[in-house]
Chain A
C-alpha cells in the first residue's frame, strides 16, 4: 500500500512538472495558433542561461551570497527570455501570419534548432548545475500508518508548490489584468481583437515572454533536479501527450492532463512494465492520450470542434 502511494505521489509530482512545460504550449497556442515545438528548447535555453549566469555572476560582481547570485541570474535570464521572445516575434512569427498549422509547426522546429545551436554556443554543452538550495535527501512519513512509511521528496513537493503558484498567478493574470483580457480576446478571434484596437504584435511578444518565463521555472526545477544538459529539451516530447490530453487551448486542461499522464505513466511502468520487459512509460503516455482522444477529439477541456461546410 505504501508503495502504491509512493508511486502515485511520484506520478503526481512528475505530472506537475509536465504540466509546467505543457502550460507553455497552451499559452502560445491559445494566443497565436502556433503549436510551439520550441518550448522544450526554450526550457533548455532558459535553464542553461540561469545555470551559467549564477556560475559567472560571483566572478563578475564579486557577490558571495548564493541567494543573491541566483536572484540576479533569474532576473538576467528573464531579460534574455524577453529578448528571445521579441526576436522570435519580430523575425519569424510576424511573417508567418495566416499560414497553415503544419507550416507554423515546422517553423517552430526551425526555431528549436536555432535555440539549441545558439544556446550551446554561448553557454557551452557540458553538464551544469543549478543550485537553488533544494533539499535532496528523502524523508519518510506516515510511518505509524504504513509498514516502512512513505518515502517523500521535499524537493518534489517544493517543485509542485512552485508550479501551483505559477498556475495561480497565470490564472489571475489572465482573468484580472487588462493585458490578460486582451490576450483572451486575441485567443478568441484575431481579427475581432484587432478591430477593437488590440495591438496583435505586442500581445504576441507578451505571450512568448510569459511562455519563456514558464520555461524558466520549468528549467530551474528540472535543472536543479537533474542537472542542465542538452537532453533537457527532450522533456517537450514527454509533455506533448499532456497537451493533447488536456486540450490545446485549456490552461486547467494542461494541469489535469499533466497529472493524469504523470500518474498513468508511472503506474503503468511500475505495475505493468515488468510483464513486457519495461521501458513502456513513454509510449504508454501517448497511447493513454490517444485513447482519451478517441472519445473526445478535442482533448478533455479543449474547445469543441465544430464542422461547417
Chain B
C-alpha cells in the first residue's frame, strides 16, 4: 500500500510537470512591442545584475508612462538566467516567439552572448550587448545581428591606455612601464587581452596577465604577485564579488588604489560600497555615463514611475552607475524601434528584423539626447550597417569614498588601432562560419 502511495505521488508530480510546462503561455496582446529581459537577480553576480535590470525596466515603464513608442505600448517580461549559459539559452527559446515575437535580447553575460550569436541569425532577432559581448561584433557586415552599442572591451581598454599615456605625458613615456591586467578567468575577462597586447607592442610597455578564477573570492596569490612585481598600473577586469575582493586585497597588500583602473563593469556602487574608504582613489572607466542622480531622465523616472509607486527596486538606487547602464541599454533599444517605425510605419509593432534596421540607423545627436533627458550623460550615437557600435566615447571616474566623480575629459577609442583588429578577427570568424560579409548594397534592403 505504501508503495502504491509513493507511486501515486510520483505520477501526480509527473502530471503536474507536464501540465505546468504547457500552461504558462501568456496570452498575446495586440499592438504591444514585446521586450524580453534576461536578468540575474540571484547567485554570485546578483549584486550587479539587479540594479541593471531595475534601470532597464524603469525606463520601459517611463516610456509607457509617456505614451509608448509613437503610441505602441511596451510589454516586457523577465527571465532569470543566474548568469548560466544553458538557462540563458532556455530563456531565449522560451521568449523569442512569445507575444508576436521578441524585439531584441540583451543577455548581460558574455557567455550567453556567445551562445545567442549562433542562434540569432536564424531567428532574425537582434542581440544588443551595450558595453560587453564580443568586441569584433562591431563589424556589422559579418555580425549582422549583434550590436555592441556605445562600447566594446577593446575600445574600453584602448581608452584606459590613452588615459594612462596622458597622465604620464605622452605615449612615448609608456615605454618600460609595467601594467598588470587582473582579469576574470572567462571569455569576458580575456576579451581585452588582444588589444592590450597590440598596444603593448606599439608603445613598448610591459603587460603581465593575472587571471582570477570564478567567482573571484580568493585573490591572495594574485595580489602577492602584484606586490612583488610592483606594476605601475593595475587594470581590473572583474565582475561581481571579484571587484570588491580585489580592492580589499589591494588594501591589505598596500597597493595604491589610485593606480588601479577598472573596466566599466568594475566601476559601480556594488563594487566599492562595502569597501568604502578603503577604495578611495580607485578609478574606473565610465562607459560615457557614471552615476547620474541629477540627469533629467532620472528625475523623470523618479516622478513618473517611482512617484506613482511603480518603481522597480529601491528608490535610492535610481541613478546609480549600473542602474544607468540598464536604463541606457533600454533607451537604445527603444530608439531602435522608434527608428524602425519611421521606415516601416509609425504606431506599428516592429518585428525583430525591422528593429535591426532601426538599430543600424540610430542617429542621436546631442540635441535629441538633451531633449530626452540625457544631457551630460552621454554623447551622440550614430550607427550604421557596418558599424554596430556607434560611439566610442568614454571617460574616467574616481571613487572618493562616498560617490563616483568624473576625473577626466572625454576620450575616444582610436579607430586606427581598433579597426584593423576588428576586421582581422571578424574576418576569421566569417571564414570559419562561411559567412559572406554584407556589402553596402545589402544594407539598403
Give chain A's interface residues, CB within 8 Å of chain B: 3, 6-7, 10, 13-14, 120, 125-129, 136-138, 151, 153, 155-156, 222, 225-227, 229-232, 234-235, 238, 265-266, 269-270, 273-274, 277-279, 281-282
Contact = CB atoms under 8 A, between A and B. Distances in A.
Interface in B212-270: 212-213, 215-218, 220-222, 224-225, 227-228, 240-241, 244-245, 248, 251-254, 270
Nearest to A223: B274
A227 B244 CA distance: 8
Interface in B359-414: none
A220 to B, nearest CB: 15
Contact of A281 (B44, B209, B218, B241): B218
B185 interface: yes
A222 B220 CA distance: 13
A125 B211 contact: no
B210 A278 contact: yes
A232 B41 CA distance: 17
15 contacts: A120-B46, A125-B41, A127-B244, A127-B270, A137-B254, A226-B217, A226-B244, A227-B275, A234-B215, A270-B228, A274-B208, A274-B225, A277-B211, A281-B213, A282-B218
A270 B215 contact: no
A274 B209 CA distance: 9
A231 B211 contact: no
Contacts of A273: 221, 225
Contact of A153 (B41, B217, B218, B252): B252
A235 B41 CA distance: 21
A266 B220 CA distance: 8
Contacts of B47: 125-127, 229
Contact of A151 (B41, B46, B254, B273): B254
A274 B225 CA distance: 10
Contacts of A10: 220-221, 224
B425 interface: no
A265 B221 contact: yes
Contact of B46 (A136, A230, A278, A281): A230
Contacts, number: 114
A121 to B, nearest CB: 10
Contacts of B210: 278
A270 B241 CA distance: 22
Return the 3 tightest CB-CB contacts between A and B, nearest first. A269-B221, A279-B211, A231-B215
Nearest to B49: A125
B121 interface: no
A235 B209 CA distance: 24
B42 interface: yes
Interface residues of B, number: 39
B43 A138 contact: no
Given A7-B224, A10-B224, A136-B278, A227 B213 contact: no
Contacts of B225: 269-270, 273-274
B246 to A, nearest CB: 10
A293 B427 CA distance: 49
Contact of A226 (B209, B212, B245, B270): B245
Contacts of B69: none
A187 B401 CA distance: 52
Contacts of B221: 7, 10, 265-266, 269-270, 273, 281
Given A226-B244, A281-B218, 6 more contacts: A226-B245, A230-B44, A231-B240, A273-B221, A274-B225, A279-B185
A57 to B, nearest CB: 18
B251 A136 contact: yes
Contacts of B224: 3, 6-7, 10, 266, 270
A81 to B, nearest CB: 22
Nearest to B219: A226
Contacts of B209: 277-278
A128 B44 CA distance: 13
A229 B44 contact: yes
Contacts of B142: none
B213 A279 contact: yes
Select the residue from A6, A127, A269, A270 with max chain B CB neighbours within 10 A. Answer: A127
B252 A136 contact: yes
B157 interface: no
Contact of B217 (A6, A156, A235): A235
B141 interface: no
